[in-house]
Amino acid sequence: MNIVCLDMEGVLVPEIWIAFSEASGIPELRRTTRDEPDYDKLMTWRLGILKEHGLGLKEIQDTIAKIDPLPGAKAFLDELRATTQVIILSDTFEEFAKPLMEKLGWPTIFCNSLEVAENGEITGYKMRCGKSKLTTVKALQSIGYDTIASGDSFNDLGMIQASKAGFLFKSTEQIKADHPEIPAFEEFDDLLAAIKAAL
């Protein structure tokens, strides 16, 4: 019984915060989990910048509506889902993910949720659980699944290392250098072949 756990941003779709940084002209918002391993610190910092600039959920959703999956991502996901069970494990939020899930054919996603005021200001966020990717992989293993995981950032390393097979995909040179034991791929065909070989 196998289940594949995939990160979303940087693996299947472009990084939402980088796209919003470009759309809003605020370069500080380019920071992601590739740059900052502490997610709470990163999100608190982001919310402060949004407040400072008077930006809220609507502005981010307007940017997300224009984002398309990475070239080849939907075909990769379609073939993978025809082969085995797949769950996307993301530190993003339901309020951001929905239009992207539609473009990917509605795969299952486990993510978090935002706290939004009536005026659209993002006032906080609610994490589904601590270390959500690793916690979810361990929970799946506890109910009889072998997990295979792939991601690109610091926050994916736990689920990759805890799985029976794990792969970096479109990761940074630094993360690849720090973890030479994890096979790293840049193309969907190569990642698909590696996952199929691990099934």
Per the DSSP assignment, residues forming a β-bridge with 85 are: 3
Report, as residue numbers or ranges, the catalytic residues: 7, 9
- 114 membership: H or E segment, kind and range: strand 109-116
Quote the pTM value.
Answer: 0.91
Please, which pLDDT band fits residue 144 given cuts at 50, 70 and 90? Answer: very high
Helix locations, 54-144, DSSP H: 57-64, 73-83, 94-103, 132-142
CB under 8 Å, gap of 24 or more: what pairs does 93-99 form?
Answer: 93/125, 95/57, 95/61, 96/16, 96/60, 96/61, 96/64, 97/8, 99/61, 99/64, 99/65, 99/67
**Burial per residue of 27-38, b for 16 or more beta-carbon CB atoms within 10 angstroms, e otherwise:** eebebbbbebee
Q: What is the pLDDT of residues 80-105, one digit of tens each?
A: 999 999 999 999 999 999 999 999 99
Helix, strand, or coil (residue 94): helix
Q: Does 24 have pLDDT greater than 90?
A: yes
Please, which pLDDT band fits residue 111 given cuts at 50, 70 and 90? Answer: very high
Q: Does 37 have pLDDT greater than 90?
A: no
CA 125 to chain centre: 16
d(CA 95, CA 76): 24
d(CA 122, CA 142): 35
Please, which pLDDT band fits residue 39 given cuts at 50, 70 and 90? Answer: confident
Contact indicator for 22, 102 with CB cutoff of 8 Å? no
Other beta carbons less than 10 A from residue 62's beta carbon:
11
By CB atoms closer than 10 A (0-12, 13-18, 19+), residue 152 is buried
Q: What pLDDT, on the 0 to 100 scale, is given for residue 193?
A: 98
Span of 14-28, 34-48, 72-86, 126-140 with lowest mean pLDDT: 34-48
